[in-house]
A and B are shown apart, each in its own frame.
Chain A
Amino acid sequence: MQKAENFKIEDKVRIVLVGNPNSGKSSLFNVLTGLNQRVGNFPGVTVEKKVGNFKVNKKLKAEIVDLPGTYSLSPRSEDEQVTFDYLNDNNRTDIPEIIIVIADASNLKRNLLLASQLIDLEKPAILALNMMDIVERNQQSIDVEQMAKEFGIPVVPINARIGKGLDQLKEAIGSYKLPPFKKFVDNHETKDALDNTLVRYEKIKRIVEATLKTKGESKTAILTKKIDKILTHKVFGYLIFLFVLFIMFQAIFSWSSIPMDWIENGFLVFGNWLSNILPEGIINDLLVDGVLAGLGGIVIFIPQIALLFTFIAILEDTGYLSRVSFLMDALLKRFGLSGKSIIPLLGGAACAVPAIMSARTISNKKERLLTIFITPLISCSARIPVYTLLIALIIPAEQQIWSFNLQGIVMMALYLLGFVAAIVTSWVMKTMVKSDERNHFIMELPIYRAPRWSNVGITILNKVKVFLFEAGKIIITVSIILWVLSTYGPGDQMANIDEKYQVINQTPGVDLSLSNEQMASEKLEVSYAGHIGKFIEPAIKPLGFDWKIGISIITSFAAREVFVGTMATLYSVGDEENTASIKQKMARATNPSTGEKVYTKATGYSLLIFYAFALQCMATVAIVVKETGGWKWPIIQLVYMGALAYLSSLIVFQIFS
């Protein structure tokens, strides 16, 4: 930030937005910038940085930076450190800067503490008093002019929710004149940070008494207390939360399947069209099977991300999310998690990608990391096709235990297993991960308010953008690598298969689609993926897996459900009639050297456990890279889950065989 004495506004100004959490800071940011905003990270940390643009007047343009919410300038979390560093950085001198400190006027004393600390930075600042509607509803009034005199900076009353007072705020920016600075509290006259804070409060108390006129009792707090009696009730509280979850899951599972089908079909149609108009060859294959398949694999997540964040944004905006944390904290605390971990953990049952993104609401760094680490262990919807296929293969549909369908029991057991593994992992990691952040779970519970729909919309848009552009890069890359591995092979084996089928396809009466499927299968066998599958066979043999399963494990790193598709391709060999379903083909498969069936109970259970635990999802890895700000944690996670999967499968196979 520029030295104050050089302050002069010409045609561009930077507005730095600071305020308490829940003071309406993001509302003001959104109402000023609209869609003219971008989300990034502050350098070196995973704290979200929002930057936008707006016009102050005809001549003056403004760039606005939204700093993370903080209660004071004595930083105690990563978020608050970012705010502190940004405000104290004197190296940004490109354009003049004005700090807007936004204060919740319905909760003046506490909000003015931060304002008083900012004044003592002796930098250009404006105080915006937000939530004036609540002040009026509480039959209070604030003497704004008197307050401006006391603080020595301009004070503008606003209502960010409906955009009231914005013109006055812009006017104050456009006509900003550097005031004579005077210290609010001289830091040299107080003995420590605590004393300093108390001295500030003394002075603020006096100013509030002189400027705030109160006629009645605060009504909004009374309403919040009434609602809390129901929503945090020891029985109804949990029942209501369960109901909210039920609706959320319905939405994520069933509503999102419709747009997901459109996306899937859309990409299929577009891929076919593209491969028809482009000349045949490597570019065609790369674009259609590598890039486009990767793109499809990214876009398919958008409905689930959008829906999950619609719910989270509403729950957070209304104030309900903090009540859920309040209810769940005692339970999750024991495992090193926090009350807020409940949303990512449950969201993980739909899809780990949006779930991990939602862990941003957890303010404690360690609790957030543990939550991100264990979320992929929860069985997600992509595991369902794998589970369904394998369960149907090894357990007859009519088999029952105490009149319960065994297939259903196994399915449920897999979900439970994932959940238990997640909780136990967190419990173990709690002692291993060091944290210098103190574990005080102190959380403000904001008063209940109606959600601001434009905020909800902007949140969804930002989350989708972040996923598309940040995680998307990694997903496309991995997708192309996987394509290369399964399309190319060493030597001229591939070419030989091509030649062989060129001859076959020309024989009259041949079923072209059948012979193409068989060609694909033979090619996959000699591809690099096939060679790796055979190469790792000795390592996976103790788990009961053959090289075909090895190939599927490699290709399904793209996404777990790819396992089913790869199996279908691999087993199309030798099925002359091409009538059997993938399940029937796998059931018939025998080991050529021993003549025994490949998919015995032991192999089936072993494979089920493997898919329950292994981190077979490049999108999850990509999002963990993004959310933890590096490759360290995703690699630990990949290795840990891989080892857990391997050992568990080994034990299961040995028990059943």
Chain B
Amino acid sequence: MKITTLAECTTGDKAKLNGIDDEQLSIQLFCMGCIPGETITIERIAPFGDPIMISVEDSFISIRKEDAEKMRIEKV
């Protein structure tokens, strides 16, 4: 099955962000440098599979799984 959201990725994966299906979340993540076109790396996944630590450029960001489900990506 093709992986389409960030929540489905595993540690070490790299993915290109295509879009975020939530306006509030988009604003928040855009302002932190997480914008469409950027490459996201899955750095770590906390025990219980939630939250997920990602890195974009040199920023490390922790996001909850339910928010990661709204982030459309494409694995690279």
Q: A194-B23, A441-B63, A442-B63 in contact; A225/B31 too (CB < 8 A)?
A: no
Are A197 and B30 in contact, with the CB atoms below 8 A? Answer: yes
Partner of B67, one of A106, A228, A331, A440: A440
Q: Are A198 and B50 in contact, CB atoms less than 8 angstroms apart?
A: no
Q: How far is the CB of A236 from chain B (nearest CB, A)?
A: 12
Point out the residues of chain A lying under 8 angstroms from B58, CB to CB: 106-107, 218, 220-221, 447
Determine the distance from Cα of A331 to Cα of B64 in the docked complex, in whole angstroms.
Answer: 12
Q: Is A71 in the interface zone, CB < 8 Å from B?
A: yes
Known: A71-B32, A109-B33, A110-B32. A329 touches B51 (CB 8 A): yes
Asked if residues A325 and B35 are in contact (CB atoms below 8 Å), the reply is no
| Inter-chain contact B31/A113, CB cutoff 8 Å | yes
Q: Which residues of B contact A333 (CB under 8 A)?
A: 50, 64
Task: Give B44-71 as 1s and 0s: 1 = Cβ < 8 Å from A's Cβ atoms.
Answer: 1011111101010111111110010000
The A/B interface has a contact count, at CB < 8 Å, of 118
**For chain B, what secondary structure do more than half of its interface residues adopt (helix, strand, loop), or is it mixed?**
mixed
Residue of B25, B26, B27, B31 contacting most chain A CB atoms (<10 Å): B31
Q: Please give the distance in Å from A242's CB to the nearest CB on chain B.
A: 14
For A113, what are the chain B residues with a Cβ–Cβ distance below 8 Å?
A: 31, 33
B74 adjacent to chain A (CB < 8 Å): no
B62 touches A72 (CB 8 A): no
Q: Contact at A442–B30, with CB atoms within 8 Å?
A: no
Complex: A333 Cα to B23 Cα, angstroms: 22
B57 touches A443 (CB 8 A): no
A383 to chain B, nearest CB (A): 32
Residues in B neighbouring A218, C-beta threshold 8 A: 58
Q: Determine whether B3 belongs to the interface, using a CB cutoff of 8 Å to chain A.
A: no
Closest CB in chain A relative to B20 CB, distance in Å = 9
A440-B28, A444-B60 known; A228-B50 Cβ under 8 A: no
Decide yes or no: A440 and B64 within 8 Å by CB, A113-B31, A218-B58, A445-B53 being known contacts: yes
Most buried by A among B36, B46, B55: B46
Query: What is the CA–CA distance of A271 and B59 in the complex, to the nearest angstrom?
Result: 56
Whether the pair B61, A329 counts as a contact (CB closer than 8 A) is no
CA distance A121 to B47 in the complex (A): 44
A322 to B60, CA, bound (A): 11
Closest to A237 in B: B47
Encode contact with B along A322-346: 1 for CB under 8 Å, 0 otherwise: 1001110111010000010000000
Task: Let me know if B28 and A442 touch, CB within 8 A.
Answer: yes
Q: CB of A2 within 8 A of chain B?
A: no
What is the distance, in angstroms, from A411's C-beta to the closest C-beta of chain B?
A: 31
A193 CB within 8 Å of chain B = yes
Give Cα A74–Cα B25 distance, bound, in whole angstroms. 12
In the complex the two chains form, is A224's CB within 8 Å of B60's CB?
yes
Complex: A333 Cα to B28 Cα, angstroms: 20
Closest Cβ of chain A to B62, distance in Å, is: 5
Cβ contact within 8 Å between A232 and B46: yes
Report the bound CA distance from A110 to B60 in whole Å: 12
Q: Which residues of A contact B35 (CB under 8 A)?
A: 197-198, 201
* Cβ-closest chain B residue relative to A445: B60
Contacts of B26 in A (CB 8 A): 194
A193-B43 in contact (CB<8A): no
**On chain B, which size bracket covers the interface?**
20 to 34
Question: Are A329 and B64 in contact, CB atoms less than 8 angstroms apart?
Answer: yes
Verify A443–B61 contact, CB threshold 8 A. yes
Tell me if A438 is interfacial: C-beta within 8 Å of chain B. yes
State in angstroms the CA–CA spacing of A531 and B39 once bound together: 73
Give the distance in Å from the alpha carbon of A76 to the alpha carbon of B28 in the complex: 8
A234 within 8 A of B: yes
Complex: chain A residue closest to B29, CB-CB: A442
* Known A333-B64, A438-B24, A442-B63: A110·B57 in contact at CB below 8 Å: yes
Asked whether, in the complex, the Cβ of B55 is within 8 Å of the Cβ of A329, the reply is: no
B38: min CB distance to chain A, Å: 9
Which residues, 114 to 140 on A, are CB-close (under 8 Å) to B?
Answer: 114
Contact present for B62 and A330 (CB under 8 Å) = no
> CA separation between A225 and B48, bound complex, in Å?
20
B59 engages A330 (CB within 8 Å)? no
Complex Cα spacing A333 to B51, Å? 10
For window 177-232 of A, CB contacts with B under 8 Å fall at: 193-194, 197-198, 201, 218, 220-221, 224-225, 228-229, 232
Is B25 touching A440 in the complex (CB atoms < 8 A)? yes
A138, closest chain B residue (CB): B58
**Chain A: minimal CB distance from B15 (Å):** 17
Chain A residues whose CB sits within 8 angstroms of the CB of B24 once the complex forms: 76, 438, 440
Q: How far is the CB of B36 from chain A (nearest CB, A)?
A: 8
**A444/B46 contact (C-beta < 8 A), A71-B32, A228-B53 known:** no
Q: How far is the CB of B43 from chain A (nearest CB, A)?
A: 7
CB distance from B41 to the nearest CB of A (A): 9
Which B residues are in CB contact (< 8 Å) with A198?
Answer: 30, 35-36
Interface residues of A (CB under 8 A from B): 71-72, 74, 76, 106-107, 109-110, 113-114, 193-194, 197-198, 201, 218, 220-221, 224-225, 228-229, 232, 234, 237-238, 322, 325-327, 329-331, 333, 339, 438, 440-447
**12 cross-chain CB contacts under 8 A:** A107-B59, A110-B31, A110-B32, A110-B33, A114-B31, A197-B35, A198-B36, A201-B30, A228-B60, A322-B62, A330-B46, A438-B25
Q: Which 10 A-B pairs have the closest CB atoms?
A: A110-B33, A72-B31, A71-B31, A445-B60, A330-B48, A330-B50, A234-B47, A443-B62, A197-B30, A441-B64
